[in-house]
Amino acid sequence: MESVQDCNVVYDAKALLDNAGIYQFEDLEVFKKARGKAVPGRETDESLHKKLYSATQRPTDVFNSKLKILSDAIEKWDAAIDKAVAEGDKKAREYAESQRSEFAIEREGLMRFKTDLGRLVRIYNYIVDDAELENFAAFAKIYSKRLAGIAPEQIYLTGLVLANYQIRAEQKVDEEGEKYLLKPIKPNEAGPSDREKEFISQIIARMNELFGDISGDVGQRHFTSQIVDIAMRNNRVTEQVENNTKEQALQGDLPRVVRAATVDAMK
| Res 165: pLDDT | 42
Q: In the chain, where are the structural domains located?
A: 1-162, 193-267
| Res 163: pLDDT | 38
Ordered mean pLDDT values, 10 residues apiece, the chain (267 residues): 68 90 93 75 64 88 92 93 91 92 90 89 72 86 78 50 46 54 65 70 73 65 82 88 85 89 77
| Res 161: pLDDT | 35
Q: Is residue 117 a contact partner of residue 140, using CB atoms and an 8 Å limit?
A: yes
| Res 132: pLDDT | 75
Alpha-carbon distance values, 62 to 84, 164, 240 (Å)? 33, 29, 25
Task: Name the β-bridge partners of 43.
Answer: 40
Task: Name the β-bridge partners of 40.
Answer: 43
The DSSP letter of residue 192 is P
| Res 205: pLDDT | 76
Q: Measure the CA–CA gap between 139 and 161, rounded to whole angstroms.
A: 11
